[in-house]
Amino acid sequence: MNAIFKRRSVREFLPKAVEPEKIERILRAAFQAPSAHNRQPWEFLVVTGKDDLKAVAGMSPWAKLCAAAPALIACCANLKRGDPGYGDPNIKMTEEALWEQDLSAATQNALLQICDEGLGGVWLGWYPAKERVDSFKAYFKLPEHIVPVTLIALGYPAKEGQSKDRFDPARVHYEKW
């Protein structure tokens, strides 16, 4: 899979809209991610409105680039699907919840498809930073059981970049440490 080795974080975008069919293919790729117990706890919010992107840019110092991004995909966890204890006082929350890992896999799938579409994107960690989560939930009026886990700012890259070979055999261990 060439996209794995070609993908890089892109933080500067051309002022060109991302076609809806490309966004749909990116979302389809995210939906193909593996998930614990096949719960598939993801929900996605696609944001393309300039005012909304500017609002997100103000929610975190690391999100400033969202103001100039043509699109944003918020990868959200639906706790009703992802946490077996959600809403049940007799079950300890997060006892078997692996939704953070599930959403990370979906985010990576989306980033690989973004690369395959000739676009660029960057993963913005959102959860578990309470202030970021709460401000995003309030602004977009997310239901209580929906948690924004990662955001992906995306668009056409403003400049050509090079990916790096990150393989380090010194950090690979076989059989024993």
Measured in degrees and rounded to the nearest 5, phi and psi for residue 123 equal -85, 125
Domains, the chain: 2-160 (3.40.109.10)
The Cα 164–Cα 107 span in angstroms is 20
Token pair, residue 99, equals 């939704």
The Cα 9–Cα 114 span in angstroms is 11
pLDDT of the residue at 92: 62
pLDDT of the residue at 63: 98
pLDDT per residue as tens, the chain (177 positions)? 688 888 999 999 999 999 999 999 999 999 999 998 889 999 999 999 999 999 999 999 999 999 999 999 999 999 988 877 777 776 665 556 789 999 999 999 999 999 999 999 999 999 999 999 999 999 999 999 999 999 999 999 999 888 889 999 999 999 999
Distances (CA, A) of 3 to 7, 116, 176: 6, 6, 31
pLDDT of the residue at 83: 76
pLDDT of the residue at 86: 73
CB contact set of 161 (below 8 Å; sequence gap of 6+):
8, 10, 120
